[in-house]
Amino acid sequence: MTSINKDWENILDLLGSKSLLNGPSKSLSVILDKAESGVVINREEALYLVNIERDEIPYLLLTASKLRDRGKGEVLTYSKNVFVPLTQICRNHCGYCTFKYEPGEGPLFMSPDEVLDMAKKGAELGCTELLFVTGDKPELKYPIYKEALQKLGYESTADYLIAMGEAGLKENIFPHTNLGLATSEELVQFRGSNPSMGLMLENISPRLLKKGQAHYRCPDKVPKLRMKTMELAGELRIPWTSGILVGIGETWEERVQSLFALKELNDEYGHLQEIIIQNFSPKPGIMMENYPPPSFVEMLKLVAISRLVFGEGMNIQIPPNLNPETYPLFIHAGINDLGGVSPVTIDYVNPEAPWPKLEIMQDMVEELGFTLRERLPVYPEFIEGEFIDKDVLKRVVDFVDKDGYVILEEVPNG
CATH number of the domain encompassing residue 310 = 3.20.20.70
Query: Which pLDDT belongs to residue 323?
Result: 87
In the three-class reduction of DSSP (H, G, I as helix; E, B as strand; rest coil), residue 192 is classed as coil
Report if residue 291 sits inside a domain: yes
Report if residue 236 sits inside a domain: yes
Q: Which stretches within 87-198 are classed as H helix?
A: 112-124, 143-152, 157-170, 184-191
Report if residue 202 sits inside a domain: yes
Range of the domain at 362: 75-79+197-399
Distance CA 107, CA 167 (A): 21
Report if residue 101 sits inside a domain: no
Query: Which pLDDT belongs to residue 6?
Result: 53
Report if residue 158 sits inside a domain: no
Question: What confidence tier does 16 reach under pLDDT thresholds 50, 70, 90?
Answer: low
Question: What confidence tier does 360 reach under pLDDT thresholds 50, 70, 90?
Answer: confident
The sign of the dihedral angle between the CA atoms of 358, 317, 208, 185 is positive
Whether the full predicted model's pTM is greater than 0.75, yes or no, is: yes
Report if residue 172 sits inside a domain: no
Q: How many helices (H) and strands (E) does the chain have?
A: 13, 9
Query: Which pLDDT belongs to residue 8?
Result: 63
The tally of domains found in the chain comes to 1
Report if residue 336 sits inside a domain: yes
Distance CA 267, CA 54 (A): 32
- Residue 52: is its pLDDT beyond 90? yes
In sequence order, which residues have a C-beta less than 8 Å from that of residue 171 and are 6 or more positions away? Answer: 116, 119, 120, 123
> What value does the mean pLDDT of the chain take?
92
200 closest CA partner among 137, 157, 162, 245: 245
In percent, the amount of the chain with pLDDT more than 90 equals 79
When mean pLDDT is compared across 3-17, 92-106, 125-139, 230-244, the lowest value belongs to 3-17
When mean pLDDT is compared across 64-73, 331-340, 401-410, the lowest value belongs to 401-410
Query: Which pLDDT belongs to residue 1?
Result: 34
Specify the higher pLDDT residue, 361 or 382.
Answer: 382
Q: Are 405 and 373 in contact (CB under 8 A)?
A: yes
Report if residue 10 sits inside a domain: no
When mean pLDDT is compared across 62-71, 175-184, 353-362, 386-395, the lowest value belongs to 353-362
